[in-house]
Amino acid sequence: MRVTDMTSKQAPHFVLIHGIGGGAWCWYKLRCLMENSGYKVSCIELTSCGIDRSDASSVQSFDEYSKPLTDFFSELPENQKVILVGHSAGGLSVTQASHRFAKKIELAVYVAATMLRLGFMTDEDRMDGVPDLSDFGDVYEVEFGADQSPISAVIKKEFQRKIIYNMSPLEDSTLAAMLLRPGPLPAILSAQFSETSDIDKVPRVYIKTMHDNVVKPAQQEAMIKRWPPSDVYVLESDHSPFFSTPFLLFGLLVKAAASVGCH
């Protein structure tokens, strides 16, 4: 049964947040599946990402980086709730929104994502939540500021398929290589959130990606153990299940929505 066939209540509204350097384009397969099944979908583009005209080097703080999501929630009517889905570093934006807008979030879903209750507060947070790609060599193309500190970075094109899209169709990794932009590293690594009790009111689900070369399975498991979600699902995918296993990812998101009464 399509969601639109049910007249008793409004279709669930999924809000999708991309990872560093990505954009709304990451979700094109998933959005198609969801909308064709009657779900409402919003794909947010964070500052300096996708078609946003800002340059990564101009983004000074995590608040500025995540402002498009903050604006979305500020404009969302008080009587509406969404299912918030974050991929990779997009998990940080999901957590920040869960602190600030808990009453508007039905469920938070972390897909191969950074899931840290207070962001990057400690060395342990950084060890668990920041990708370590040193095994692959010199993989980053870095832009430096006047003081020679890094202000943005992107994985070099020749490494992207091996690291990010190792199980994804070739046409998708080719598309991504054309669209992936440098991300504002200092702004993202500065993500720190004040403790609130409201965040405990937001149910969370984590979707693990077992062949992930970016946020490795051991890191995902460490974050899950430190801040246990209500459910953990597993995908035999790379870091980009929206490309490599879109049908399975769609199924898990629908299952997660059903777990909180959203059908």
Closest to 159 (Cα-Cα) out of 96, 218, 213: 213
Q: Is 123 a catalytic residue?
A: no
Strand spans (E) along the chain: 13-17, 40-44, 82-87, 105-111, 140-144, 150-155, 204-209, 231-235
Q: How far apart are CA 47 and CA 62, in angstroms?
A: 10
Report which DSSP code applies to 210: T
Q: Cα 148 to the chain's mean position, in Å? A: 29
Residues in the chain: 263
Q: Which one of 88, 98, 240, 244 is the catalytic residue?
A: 88
**156: amino acid identity, one letter:** K
Tell me whether residue 13 is one of the annotated catalytic residues: no
Hey, what amino acid is at 170? L
Which entry of 18, 125, 239, 244 is annotated as an active-site residue? 239
Would you call 87 a catalytic residue per the annotation?
no
Catalytic residue among 212, 238, 240, 244: 212
Catalytic residues: 88, 212, 239
